[in-house]
């Protein structure tokens, strides 16, 4: 199993000791408090679960700018994206040394974490634009990640945190949400040594399933961790509970026993393409994976990124010694009519586009909404049935 990034052990910021956590929850009610953004709450969940080891909390502006420019903090620690707590107003917490952070995603806005305030800095337009351009490779407000990042406010509250709960993820997804600590423990319990991780924010069609089988076979892995994003998505994406049902059904029916686990993590999608791919690899190493699948247009949206930018960034921008995890570079996968199986398209010579079963996302959604299952070469019928039920319920 790989070591955590930059550390011999995980550094989860969740307070596991019950008595201490209960005391902190009581103290939080007396502290000045601020409702944070969904993104900052998701950062707290990831920090709490050990995924962002070895970070101790939210970055200050100098570290965030250094990470945006060069993928390392001011003191040289590798990290691919700024981890910030940006708020619009500091009126309720100005001058406080310790504050309660309230969760915007749970009714009643309970305290998700307590933060020691090291600094509160105003992020000016130039610094915000620099971070946006470096992380997202665009400042276009039509980009959903850019719009979200620039809508959180301009006051950056930095300092270490103590995490008191995992927001709605534990309660809404009790069978799926897992911390990096829990996934490492399960990998160890299963006796897996070589583990490949697969990221998804969508249900898995046949091509995704076969890509996982290919990676496991070629890398000689003991196990697969299907690790789905459970946080906020853009409008039109399929809800996490539907994805969860579809993926679990696929694994139960088409993967050998003790070869794959279905888990999820509490984070809001950035849609940051290459930079987000590096972040995905970073926290998959922290959860214990030795390999990570990165395919065509990984974590992308629209036409903002080249098809393989999320792979080449590991050659051009990520320092050679920054990560232990190895990247499995995948091309688009599809059913070959000539070979009668799923292949990576770049490994299928003498094929034209017409030789593959290819359906646009729009056409698939139309078919499912009409109660029509995509062809068996595209989707497992059991998965299609779950998605048809969802689309017809809209």
The 10s digit of each residue's pLDDT in 104-146 is 999 999 999 999 999 999 999 999 999 999 999 999 999 999 9
What's the pLDDT at 238? 87
CA–CA gap between residue 79 and residue 11 (Å, rounded): 15
The ranges assigned to domains in the chain are: 18-170, 173-393
Work out whether strand 111-116 and strand 195-200 pair parallel, antiparallel, or are unpaired. Answer: unpaired
What CATH architecture does domain 18-170 belong to? Roll (3.10)
Instruction: List the Cα angle 290/295/297 in 5-degree steps.
Output: 135
- Nearest 10 degrees: CA dihedral of 52, 56, 61, 66? -50
Q: How far is CA 226 from CA 110, 114, 128, 185, 213, in A?
A: 30, 31, 34, 16, 12
CB contact set of 38 (below 8 Å; sequence gap of 6+): 104, 105, 231, 232, 268
Closest to 232 (Cα-Cα) out of 393, 51, 40, 13: 40
Going residue by residue through the chain, which has 394 residues, state the pLDDT in tens, using 9 for 90 and above. Answer: 899 999 999 999 999 999 999 999 999 999 999 999 999 999 999 999 999 999 999 999 999 999 999 999 999 999 999 999 999 999 999 999 999 999 999 999 999 999 999 999 999 999 999 999 999 999 999 999 999 999 999 999 999 999 999 999 999 999 999 999 999 999 999 999 999 999 998 899 999 999 999 999 999 999 999 999 998 777 778 888 899 999 999 999 999 999 999 999 999 999 999 999 999 999 999 999 999 999 999 999 999 999 999 999 999 999 999 999 999 999 999 999 999 999 999 999 999 999 999 998 889 989 999 999 999 999 999 999 999 999 999 8
CA–CA gap between residue 87 and residue 227 (Å, rounded): 29
What's the pLDDT at 201? 86
CA–CA gap between residue 101 and residue 98 (Å, rounded): 10
Q: For the chain, give the number of residues.
A: 394
**173-393 has which CATH code?**
3.40.50.620
What's the pLDDT at 1? 84
Closest to 147 (Cα-Cα) out of 306, 38, 278, 295: 38
What's the pLDDT at 87? 98
By annotation, the residues acting in catalysis are 201-202
What's the pLDDT at 335? 96
Q: 335 near 357, Cβ under 8 Å?
A: yes
For 61-96, b where at least 16 C-beta lie within 10 A, e where not — what string?
Answer: bebbbbbbeebbbeeebbbbbbbbbbbeebeebeeb
The neighbour count for residue 317, using CB atoms within 10 Å, is 14
Number of continuous H segments (helices) and E segments (strands) in the chain? 13, 15
Tokens of 213: 């089988």
């Amino acid at each position: 199993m790989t070591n955590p990034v930059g550390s011999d052990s995980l550094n989860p910021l969740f307070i596991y000791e019950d008595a201490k956590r209960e005391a902190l929850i009581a103290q939080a009610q007396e502290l000045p408090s601020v409702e944070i953004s969904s993104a900052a709450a998701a950062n707290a969940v990831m920090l709490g679960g050990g995924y962002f080891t070895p970070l101790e909390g939210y970055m200050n502006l100098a570290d965030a700018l250094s990470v945006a420019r060069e993928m390392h903090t001011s003191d040289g620690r590798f990290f691919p994206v700024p981890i910030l707590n940006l708020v619009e107003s500091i009126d309720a917490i100005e001058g406080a040394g310790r504050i309660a952070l309230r969760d915007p995603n749970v009714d009643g806005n309970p305290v998700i974490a307590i933060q020691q305030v090291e600094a509160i800095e105003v992020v000016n337009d130039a610094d915000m634009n620099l971070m946006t351009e470096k992380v997202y490779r665009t400042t276009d407000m039509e980009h959903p990640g850019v719009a979200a990042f620039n809508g959180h406010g301009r006051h950056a509250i930095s300092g270490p945190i103590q995490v008191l709960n995992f927001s709605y993820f534990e309660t809404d997804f009790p069978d799926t949400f897992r911390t990096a600590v829990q996934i490492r423990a399960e990998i160890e319990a299963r006796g897996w040594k070589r583990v490949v991780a697969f990221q998804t924010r969508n249900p898995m069609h046949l091509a995704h399933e076969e890509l996982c089988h290919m990676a496991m076979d070629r890398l000689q892995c003991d196990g697969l961790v299907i690790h789905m994003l459970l946080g906020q998505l853009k409008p039109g994406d399929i809800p996490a509970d539907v994805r969860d049902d579809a993926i679990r059904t696929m694994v139960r029916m088409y993967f050998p026993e003790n070869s794959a686990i279905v888990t999820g993590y509490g984070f809001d999608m950035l849609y940051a393409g290459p930079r987000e791919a590096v972040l995905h690899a970073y926290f998959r190493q922290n959860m214990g994976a030795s390999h990570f699948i990165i395919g065509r247009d990984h974590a992308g949206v629209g036409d903002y990124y080249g098809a393989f930018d999320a792979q080449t960034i590991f050659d051009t921008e990520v320092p050679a010694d920054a990560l232990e995890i190895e990247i499995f570079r995948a091309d688009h996968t599809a059913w070959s009519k000539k070979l009668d199986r799923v292949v990576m398209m770049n490994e299928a010579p003498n094929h034209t586009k017409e030789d593959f079963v290819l359906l646009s996302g729009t056409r698939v959604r139309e078919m499912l909404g009409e109660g029509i299952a995509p062809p068996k070469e595209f989707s497992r019928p059991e998965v299609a049935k779950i998605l048809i039920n969802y689309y017809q319920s809209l």
